[in-house]
Amino acid sequence: MDKMDHNAHSVYLMYYHLIMVVKYSRRKVIDDPISERAKEIWEH
């Protein structure tokens, strides 16, 4: 079940949809350590 956040005057539930567009597809711009760190940050 999703947890609703609230304050004194409202109740809300927020979701974010993030799309990363990498311009340079011929070379690996986002390497494995950066990818793993991004997963850790956005998993929460």
pLDDT at 8: 87
Q: What is the domain partition of the chain in residue ranges?
A: 12-43
Written as tens digits, the pLDDT of the chain (44 aa) is 578 888 888 988 888 887 777 666 566 777 788 888 888 887 86
Q: Does the pTM exceed 0.85?
A: no
In terms of Cα–Cα distance, which of 22, 15, 23 is closest to 42? 15
